[in-house]
Structure 1
Amino acid sequence: MPHEGNSDLKLQQQLLKWFKACLPPGAPATIIADCEFYSIHLAAWIAARLGLVFCLADQGWHLGRVRGGVVSRGRLGVQGQNALLGVGQGDARPVGRGASTWSPSGTDDEEELWLLITNHTDPKQVREIYAARFWIEEMFSDHKSRGLNLESTRLTDPDRLECLLVAVTLAYLWIMEVGALVVRRHQWRRVYNRGAQPRVSLCQIGLRWLTEGLTQGFLPPLFTGCFRPLVET
């Protein structure tokens, strides 16, 4: 879809109608979106026209904080059965239905909230669903300036871009597998030594490890596609 800059409601609806048409009949799907897609009108439209579950970050709030289950600040009018959820790192709790106003309070050591509007009925599942957004954003970042620099190709032809994406996706999966292997073997400090835990993506770890290894002349591991969890359970 040729477009630059922020999107408006009409363009978002066009994109989501295309997404809905691509889904197999009856397939479950949840629309996860950041503040650009936040809109009471969009939320109502998704529920009424697409019949899908949505989880949208709130644009109207300054990021609040939670202390003893109380949201510190912000204001939002929520229509119908849509709920505003304050979603912390360890839990998720409803913080408003209908029009709600919260008074400023809080300190720097309080937990940051994600403030979401959703038609999902289970707050705990909302936390798990929305957390996937950050993996998705990390993937985009890895494909762009922090990794594979896909945008530097400046390709706009859909067919050529599609072919490139196939190759880039295979490379990305291989690099991620290498990064996971480095972390499991506790070798990530060879490429990142700024703290007790790595603060860069698996793609970055894999890229740095491969770059260092290739300069030393050893052969990189083969791509297997058999991903294992970083932490055994």
Structure 2
Amino acid sequence: MVLILDTTMLWNEYCIVRVCVEYRGRAVPMGWRVLRHKSSSISFEVYQPLLRRVSRLIPTGVEVRFLADRAFIDTHLLRYLTEELGWHYRIRGKNDLWVWCGGQPPRQLKQFHLGLGEAVLLQRVKITKTDPYGLISVALARDPISGELWYIISDETPTLQTFQEYSLRFDIEENFLDDKSNGFELERSQIRSSIALSRLCLVLSLATLYLTCQGQQVVACGFRRRVDCHWQRGNSYLRIGWEWVKGCLHQGWKCFHSLQLFGTPDPEPAIASRRQAQSQYQRELTVKSYCYAP
């Protein structure tokens, strides 16, 4: 199970902290908290109770991979994930994060000068300059196409797959977009109460789950072309489910009664752009791997 933590702002006045389950290119909300807060940056003490509540909902024996952006890189979080929850993690690091490589003097991540298409995998290193934490892994790379730098902190042995695993974090941004301008228009509610907004988030979460379940059933039954005219699936399961429910109201179609998320691989991944999909196979990386003794 892949869990994603992130925040979003409403009117620069309220902050929604949300944990989602990654599912087939989207994220389904699992837990959240609404705060009256002027910034999207929050401390570990604020979201730690949310992680604890979410952990109680996960069945015993399920392996969890936790994803978060660089705003959440915190040694308190890393300790809590491994020592208390027993979760694995992939968290993006900041370029000014200090790294200890064996007996060498500490360096900031930005001091690793990477060329285009170069990746460096560091094992058994420590992070932070004061009170170093580890031993963990750091995967660094410069995208050969965009030139963007990536720093991924992990508790497991890093490989090129580490970057792919972290990329699933962006699915929660699509979830926030569905809540706002691309779907439910949350910001038009004009609600100015953290309690009322939290209740509204419950309604949106149930709607997201229901529409996603409807959409996957539409695809499984071969009815997708009724609501998605692309030769290959171009819309999310939520959008397909949304259009299907509209068809049930206006065309006399029937809604599906099951409410479950299939655990099998996506039989028909969405392709918003054929050119963008093909570009994913044009990346070539030169990899250097280092393992340091404790």
Q: Secondary structure at the match of 1:197?
A: coil
- Relative to structure 1, the CA distance from residue 226 to residue 46 in structure 2 (aligned partners, 3 Å threshold; closer, same or farther) is closer
Find the partner of 2:186 among 146, 150, 159: 150
- Relative to structure 1, the CA distance from residue 183 to residue 164 in structure 2 (aligned partners, 3 Å threshold; closer, same or farther) is same
- TM-score, scaled relative to structure 1: 0.61
Deviations 1:11-65 (A, max 9, x none): 33232433355455xx986542123334xxx2x3323466465421234389x89
Q: Is the 8 A contact 1:55 1:118 kept in 2?
A: yes
* Other-structure match for 2:176: 140
Q: Secondary structure at the match of 1:45?
A: helix
* Other-structure match for 1:71: 119
Deviations 1:88-137 (A, max 9, x none): xxxxxxx7xxxxxxxx79457x9x98641122346588568635534433
Give the aligned length: 196
Distance in 2 between residues matched to 1:33 and 1:142, nearest whole Å = 19
* Distance apart, 1:205 and its partner CA: 1.5
* Distance apart, 1:173 and its partner CA: 2.0
Which has the larger strand fraction?
2
Matches within 5 A, 1:35-50: 35-38=70-73, 42=74, 44-48=75-79
The CA RMSD over aligned residues, in Å, is 4.1
Q: Is the 8 A contact 1:65 1:113 kept in 2?
A: no
Q: Is the 8 A contact 2:36 2:194 kept in 1?
A: no
Matches within 5 A, 1:1-233: 1-7=35-41, 11-19=42-50, 21-22=52-53, 23=55, 31-38=66-73, 42=74, 44-48=75-79, 51=83, 53-60=88-95, 70-71=118-119, 79=127, 80-85=134-139, 106=144, 115-121=151-157, 123=159, 126=162, 130=166, 132-194=168-230, 196-216=231-251, 218-228=252-262, 229=264, 230-231=266-267
Q: Is the 8 A contact 1:58 1:116 kept in 2?
A: yes
Distance in 2 between residues matched to 1:48 and 1:83, nearest whole Å = 14
Q: Which of 1 and 2 has higher RCO (CA within 8 Å, sep 6+)?
A: 2
Aligned AA (2:152): L
- TM-score, scaled relative to structure 2: 0.51
Q: Is the 8 A contact 1:78 1:84 kept in 2?
A: no
Distance in 1 between residues matched to 2:181 and 2:170, nearest whole Å = 17
Aligned AA (1:84): V
- Relative to structure 1, the CA distance from residue 191 to residue 21 in structure 2 (aligned partners, 3 Å threshold; closer, same or farther) is closer
Q: Is the 8 A contact 1:146 1:204 kept in 2?
A: no
Q: Is the 8 A contact 2:152 2:163 kept in 1?
A: no
- Relative to structure 1, the CA distance from residue 48 to residue 226 in structure 2 (aligned partners, 3 Å threshold; closer, same or farther) is closer
* Distance apart, 1:202 and its partner CA: 0.8
Q: Is the 8 A contact 1:46 1:54 kept in 2?
A: no
